[in-house]
Every structure is written in structure tokens, then in C-alpha cells.
A and B are shown apart, each in its own frame.
Chain A
């Protein structure tokens, strides 16, 4: 049954955010005049895969649509996914090191918080589902 759902209905919005974020790959070394390194395509791909795979799974398994995050330059060649949705804020950092875990923190205006590290290539739709609570 879940496979019948296909792609999330806001896939065009997610795709646009992803497409625009590809400009991160145009930044050269020292792009901020403070020594920040260029962004590797492999890091960007891991960030995008995390977003797409988990958004699709969340839609297919639960019928929940996740909003597009800001896809932003992070420290030391990492990439940040940043959501501000209603009462929730979530920051997920995809590190430049492909073997390192992703660091996340989220909280709500009610004071509920989640904080930890995860393998960004594993199934993590639970994190995006938290945004929809």
C-alpha cells in the first residue's frame, strides 16, 4: 500500500531547495576570506540523500509531508539542514568526513528537545516525523 503513495506532494519544493543549494559547490577554498574550505560534492550528496530518502519514506510510510529545509553552508566543509516550522526548530549537520556521524539538535517552544548523533545513511525518517508532531 505504501508504495502506491509515490513521491511526496511537495517534491517540487524539495527539488527546488536542493537545486538551489547546489551553488554551495561553486564556493572556492577560503570563500569567506576566513579560511573556510570548499564543499565537496560527496558531502552535498549525503545531505541531499538524507533529505530525499527520509522525506520519501515518511510520506510513503506515514503519509506525512515534511517542509523543505534551508540547505546551508556549515563549518569546516559540513552542510547544515535547518528547519523552522511552526513551534519546532531543527538543525542537522552533515559532516565533511564521510565516516563521521551527523549531529542534530531540535526543540519546541514548549521546551521539548531532541539532541544526538545519527548515521545519515540509515533510515532516519523519525527525525523528520518529530518536526510534524
Chain B
């Protein structure tokens, strides 16, 4: 039994929390969903999470806020941002701040897989290359 890599989803939209983990599991990952950044930070998944799929706009702590907090905590988890606000200016700013990718909702499963693969590659040691 291969140990699946854990992908955590943080989004305040319930439909995302419902649907996205199922898809991730079909793609061969383990998945956990959190309705807010605060919930994620408080969970015990923080250490096991290999990639974070993070909504940008949320009540309370936003996606970028969590990115900043993780950097502060030196938890270098690769992050794939997702957002329903198609603001082209947002993506470069997030990539600059260390995000692996920023997907605009709605996105296809292949676009998600590519982003996840990219994220997981980042987290791997350079030697694997």
C-alpha cells in the first residue's frame, strides 16, 4: 500500500470543499478540506500536507495571509491558489510571493493535475531531477 500524498483544500465555499477532495482522491491523492485558514492552521494536517490548494478571497484570514503566515512559520508547503475573481493582476503577484500556480475557477482537472505535479516537483529534492 503506497502512502498517498496529502493535498489540503482551504476554501470558504462549501461546494468546493465537497467536490475538490473527491477529484483529488480520484487523481490518486489523499485529500482534506478546511473552511478557513485558521481551521487549517489549527489542524494536525499542517505537517503532512504536501500541497495546499488555497482560495484567495475568504472571510477572516485570506489566502495570501495564510501564505505569509506559513512563510513566517517556515512551513514551506507548495501552494496552488484558486479564485473565482478573474483578475489577471493577481496571478503574477501571487507567483512572485512564492505560489506555485494560481487557477481561475472554473478550472479543468488536467489544469489542476499539472499544477499539483508542479507543486510536488518543487517539494522534491533537486537530486530527483
Q: Please say whether chains A and B are actual partners in one complex.
A: no
| Residues of B participating in the A interface, judged by any CB pair closer than 8 Å | none
